[in-house]
């Protein structure tokens, strides 16, 4: 899923505060009795032992790191395109582990089902591929290749790429491309597909790589990265992704060939399997004790080819579901009032499948996506709030990630306090962990939380960015931190439990945190003399206050709007 690095996000926010005395004074004027939250970029929360804090410590302690790591390793073996063999192997593993944990067994409160839906296109599984550089007078050089699903170069075949066996002279530019030649370029294949097809290209080799994939450490590890891409299911043109280093090798060979007046050729072979297979979605439930018809959904997508994206989300949610079920049955945590739903499947469609098939009333949704990037990637833990006034006009201490701002209409804002609860959970995990570099930011879009938001259901995203390995061949286990998976999963589950099992005593903490947030937002708007934004934040705070009171106290009537 997801143009500044995440380290850059910290620098940007810090610089914003340094250049803005009013913002800095507001942050420093916050109550000094609560513990330091300097490792969290964004407004502080009020700290006590209520709300999400009721759940964080037991969730962290119960999370089995070894078991989660084994699950993560199993998932990372596969290139998981929707409904393909690797995808289904993960579905089978998750279901088996859930059943072993008691879901679908004797305790009727723990349920699991697999929903099958028809796919519009065939399931696609890569079998093997190779790209060989052929230069007269030189030994053939294999630039990339794989013959096992576990090989890192597996992403050299974009999802839906066709089988092929082609050989042709290299063209480095469209204007020199002739029929039967292979275009080698640093732009995305889809950007040049139409023109390359019209000129009769035999294949396209693309070394495309977005700016956020540049290794900011100075080690230049991105030179070996192959970008993971998805092509239209109807494509017939052979397409391959290559690394920047391989592109440089081809360019150098062409330069040498020009001196000798000898053309350079590429041989590209690929075998893929396309077959009609159903798309399976897993739904596991922990039925609520008092209001089982209400549900908080947690969603984690299986499809993708990476370890952080999104083997971490899948493994974390599985371990979270297993450990939580055990704690509930043993009485270590009270049974939630409302139902908890865990969903695994194909990004976006999995949420749609559940929402269209369930009889439950969803009250909140959480997307668990890329939850365990190691510090070496440059990423930190992030909470993406649902659309609020900060997504309309972004002021310090907010900043967007390189993913970029999404399109938001002020008329479609749905004030609620869900993001306040999620922020509390993130901070609580950090406090229990002795500090946790993390931040929250305005809505940008790009994962399952959007499906819920588009239906008027409060939803947030927990993720990590900017990760230079994102959507590349480098996104493997060596760039995953399993303890980061535990922290993020605990924050997600604490958020879900706080909404599924609210208590009147939680309200004071949430309202204090909301007031801290409101003070900073309105102060920032006043500093830039944006009266409209100030008014929007006041409306948002009033609506959030009402939402939180309804959640914690069951009070349905709205409070009078405050005057700021």
Strand partners, 279: 117
Residues 88 and 164 in one domain: no
Q: What is the mean pLDDT of residues 220-244?
A: 97
**Phi, psi (rounded to 5 degrees) for 238:** -60, 130
Residues 289 and 259 in one domain: no
pLDDT digits (tens, 9 = 90+) for 415-435: 999 999 999 999 999 999 999
List the single range of 1-10, 49-58, 130-139, 205-214 with lowest mean pLDDT: 1-10
Q: What is the mean pLDDT of residues 312-333?
A: 97
Residues 268 and 316 in one domain: no
pLDDT of residue 25: 46
**Phi, psi (rounded to 5 degrees) for 84:** -80, -175
Strand partners, 382: 439, 463
| Per-residue exposure over 381-403, b if at least 16 CB sit within 10 Å of its own CB, e if not | bbbbbbbbbbbbbebbbbbbbbb
**Are the CB atoms for 81 and 558 separated by under 8 Å?**
no
Q: What is the mean pLDDT of residues 319-323?
A: 98
450 pLDDT exceeds 70?
yes
Structure tokens at 332: 């270590």
505 pLDDT exceeds 50?
yes
Q: What is the mean pLDDT of residues 52-68?
A: 98
Q: What is the three-class DSSP state of 120? A: coil
Where is the domain boundary, 275, 310, 335?
Answer: 275
97 pLDDT exceeds 50?
yes
pLDDT of residue 5: 37
Could you tell me whether strands 182-185 and 203-206 are parallel, antiparallel, or unpaired per DSSP bridges? parallel
Residue 564 placed within a domain: no
Count of domains for the chain:
2
CATH, residue 210: 3.50.30.30
32 pLDDT exceeds 70?
no
Rounded to an integer, what distance in angstroms lies between the CA atom of residue 372 and that of residue 316?
A: 9
Closest CA to 500 of 284, 283, 343, 297: 297
pLDDT of residue 109: 97
Residue 150 placed within a domain: yes
Residues 402 and 549 in one domain: yes
Tell me the average pLDDT of the chain: 92
544 pLDDT exceeds 80?
yes
pLDDT of residue 28: 47
Residues 366 and 496 in one domain: yes
pLDDT of residue 492: 98
Residue 563 placed within a domain: no
Residues 310 and 407 in one domain: yes
Structure tokens at 99: 């059943």
Residue 1 placed within a domain: no
Residues 49 and 87 in one domain: yes
Residues 127 and 209 in one domain: yes
pLDDT of residue 33: 62
Residue 176 placed within a domain: yes
Closest CA to 336 of 55, 30, 563: 55
Q: What is the three-class DSSP state of 81? A: coil
Residue 465 placed within a domain: yes
pLDDT of residue 67: 97
Q: What is the mean pLDDT of residues 67-91?
A: 97
CATH, residue 333: 3.40.630.10
**Phi, psi (rounded to 5 degrees) for 560:** -60, 145
pLDDT digits (tens, 9 = 90+) for 366-380: 999 999 999 899 999
pLDDT of residue 556: 63
Which range of residues forms the domain containing residue 485?
6-118+279-553
Residues 529 and 480 in one domain: yes
356 pLDDT exceeds 50?
yes
Residue 541 placed within a domain: yes
Residues 95 and 154 in one domain: no
Q: What percent of the chain shows pLDDT beyond 90?
A: 88
Closest CA to 393 of 520, 538, 543, 528: 528
Confidence of residue 35 (pLDDT cuts 50, 70, 90): confident
| Per-residue exposure over 331-357, b if at least 16 CB sit within 10 Å of its own CB, e if not | eebeebbbbbbbbbbbbbbbbbbbbee
Residues 338 and 425 in one domain: yes
Residues 145 and 206 in one domain: yes
For the packed helices 65-75 and 482-500, what is the interaxial angle rounded to 10 degrees? Answer: 110
pLDDT of residue 6: 39
Q: Which residues contact 545 (CB under 8 A, 6 or more apart)?
A: 417, 511, 514, 559, 562
561 pLDDT exceeds 90?
no
- Cα 58-59-63 angle, rounded to 5 deg: 115
Q: What is the sign of the dihedral through the CA atoms of 512, 450, 14 and 220?
A: positive
Q: What is the three-class DSSP state of 364? A: strand
Q: Tokens 């591929």, residue? A: 129
Rounded to an integer, what distance in angstroms lies between the CA atom of residue 510 and that of residue 497?
A: 15
Strand partners, 381: 438, 464
Measured CA to CA in angstroms, residue 527 lies from 15, 19, 479, 544 at distances of 16, 12, 41, 23
Q: What is the mean pLDDT of residues 343-370?
A: 97
pLDDT digits (tens, 9 = 90+) for 510-533: 999 999 999 999 999 999 999 999
Structure tokens at 8: 């850059």
Q: What is the mean pLDDT of residues 339-343?
A: 98
Where is the domain boundary, 275, 290, 313?
Answer: 275
Where is the domain boundary, 249, 275, 301?
Answer: 275
Rounded to an integer, what distance in angstroms lies between the CA atom of residue 26 and that of residue 534?
A: 16
Helix (H) or strand (E) holding 58: helix 53-62
Residue 286 placed within a domain: yes
List the single range of 108-117, 216-225, 273-282, 405-414 with lowest mean pLDDT: 405-414
The model carries a pTM of: 0.92
Q: What is the mean pLDDT of residues 132-149?
A: 95
Q: What is the three-class DSSP state of 142? A: strand
Rounded to an integer, what distance in angstroms lies between the CA atom of residue 428 and that of residue 48?
A: 9
Confidence of residue 276 (pLDDT cuts 50, 70, 90): very high
């Amino acid at each position: 899923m997801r143009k500044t690095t995440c380290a850059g996000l910290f620098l940007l926010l810090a610089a914003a505060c340094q250049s803005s005395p009013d913002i800095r004074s507001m942050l420093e004027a916050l109550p000094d009795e609560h513990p330091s939250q300097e490792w969290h970029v964004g407004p502080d929360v009020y700290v006590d032992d209520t709300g999400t804090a009721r759940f964080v410590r037991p969730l962290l302690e119960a999370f089995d790191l070894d078991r989660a790591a084994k699950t993560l390793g199993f998932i990372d073996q596969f290139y998981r395109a929707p409904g393909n063999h690797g995808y289904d192997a993960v579905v089978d593993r998750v279901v088996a582990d859930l059943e072993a944990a008691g879901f679908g067994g004797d305790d009727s409160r723990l349920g699991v089902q697999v929903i099958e839906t028809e796919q519009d296109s065939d399931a696609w599984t890569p079998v093997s591929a190779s790209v060989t550089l052929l230069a007269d007078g030189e030994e053939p050089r294999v630039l990339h290749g794989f013959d096992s699903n576990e090989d890192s170069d597996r992403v050299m075949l974009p999802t839906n790429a066709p089988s092929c066996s082609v050989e042709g002279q290299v063209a480095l530019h469209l204007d020199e491309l002739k029929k039967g030649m292979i275009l080698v370029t640093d732009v995305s294949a889809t950007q040049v597909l139409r023109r390359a097809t019209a000129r009769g290209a035999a294949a396209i080799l693309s070394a495309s790589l977005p700016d956020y994939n540049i290794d900011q450490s100075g080690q230049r590890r991105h030179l070996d990265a192959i970008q993971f891409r998805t092509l239209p299911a109807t494509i017939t043109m052979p397409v391959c992704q290559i690394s920047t280093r391989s592109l440089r090798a081809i360019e150098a060979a062409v330069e040498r060939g020009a001196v000798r007046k000898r053309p350079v050729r590429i041989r590209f072979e690929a075998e893929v399997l396309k077959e009609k297979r159903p798309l399976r979605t897993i739904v596991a439930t922990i039925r609520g004790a008092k209001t089982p018809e209400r549900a908080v959904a947690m969603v984690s997508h299986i499809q993708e080819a990476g370890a952080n994206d999104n083997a971490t989300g899948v493994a974390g949610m599985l371990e979270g579901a297993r450990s939580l079920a055990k704690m509930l049955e043993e009485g270590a945590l009270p049974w939630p009032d409302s139902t908890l739903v865990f969903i695994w499947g194909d990004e976006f469609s999995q949420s749609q499948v559940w929402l269209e098939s369930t009889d439950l009333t969803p009250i909140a949704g959480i997307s668990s996506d890329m939850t365990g990037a190691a510090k070496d990637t440059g990423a930190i833990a992030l909470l993406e709030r649902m659309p609020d006034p900060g997504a309309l006009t972004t002021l310090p201490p907010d900043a967007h990630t390189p993913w970029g701002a999404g399109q938001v209409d002020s008329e479609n804002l749905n004030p609620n306090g869900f993001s306040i609860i999620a922020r509390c959970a993130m901070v609580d995990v950090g406090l229990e962990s002795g500090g946790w570099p993390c931040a929250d930011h305005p809505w940008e879009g790009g994962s399952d939380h959007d499906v819920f938001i588009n239906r008027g259901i409060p939803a947030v995203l927990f993720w990590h960015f900017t990760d230079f390995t994102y959507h590349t061949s480098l996104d493997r286990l060596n760039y995953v931190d399993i303890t980061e998976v535990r922290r993020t999963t605990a924050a997600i589950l604490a958020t879900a439990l706080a909404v599924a099992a609210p208590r009147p005593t939680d309200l004071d903490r949430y309202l204090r945190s909301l007031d801290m947030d409101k003070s900073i937002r309105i102060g920032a708007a006043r500093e830039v003399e944006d009266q409209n934004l100030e008014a929007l934040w006041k409306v948002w705070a009033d609506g959030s206050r009402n939402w939180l009171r309804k959640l914690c106290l069951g009070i349905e009537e709205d409070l009078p709007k405050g005057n700021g």
